[in-house]
Amino acid sequence: MTLKEDKSIFDTLSELTDKELVLRSHYELPYESRSFKELMKRYQQKSFSKVMSMLKNEDDAKDVVQDIFIKVYNNLPKFKMNSSFSTWLYIITVNTTLNFIEKQKRKPTWWLTDDFEMEFAHQEESEIMYIMGKGVEKDEIGECIEETLDKMSAPDKKVIELRFFEELDYNTIAENIDISLSAMKMRLKRAREEFRSKFELNCMGE
């Protein structure tokens, strides 16, 4: 294969959806890793940013991200796509980081207070992070998130995934689901409330 032909394959991969890349990876791994590398390219920086927000240490974050993508590589052929790839990766990212924190005998910064309203009132994403850390064993977090999402209405589940797992901005989400910006904000507010309520009911026994 020529260099030009090789480059054209990667150009084509960049046009595929996450789901298409995952399906290709099911057939390719472990003998070929082009599709997996494209997924890494798309999500490595997002994963690093998430880990950094929890660890506040660049060297540790780099090590954890490496562990995350080793886990993704090993488990991708078994991923059944019951949720989006970004949601699945987010769960692996959080669980792997929590495991690292436990080994280091440290706690993530978002566990330093029980006062959610005062500490996180202006940090939208931390609402989910907060309830993930309240009374739920780390090994159960991923399962609880997926179960909670499965119990949500399809429109609310979609907007939660786009905002928190794919980390899209408001305008992009509104365009993606073809509604006005104001309507999207209202839906996101409702979806966050639904997620928290169902998460607490399903996973915290409240």
How far, in Å, are 68, 72, 88 from residue 22 at the CA level?
16, 11, 12
Across all residues in the chain, what is the average pLDDT?
76
Could you tell me if 84 and 157 are in contact, meaning their C-beta atoms sit under 8 angstroms apart?
no
Query: If pLDDT is split at 50, 70 and 90, which confidence band does 86 have?
Result: confident
Count of C-beta atoms within a 10 Å radius of residue 13 = 17
Length of the chain in terms of residues written: 206
Distance CA 141, CA 204 (A): 11
Q: What percent of the chain has pLDDT over 70?
A: 74
Domains present along the chain, CATH in parentheses: 1-106 (1.10.1740.10), 119-206 (1.20.140.160)
Count of C-beta atoms within a 10 Å radius of residue 97 = 25
**Is pLDDT larger for residue 114 or for residue 25?**
25
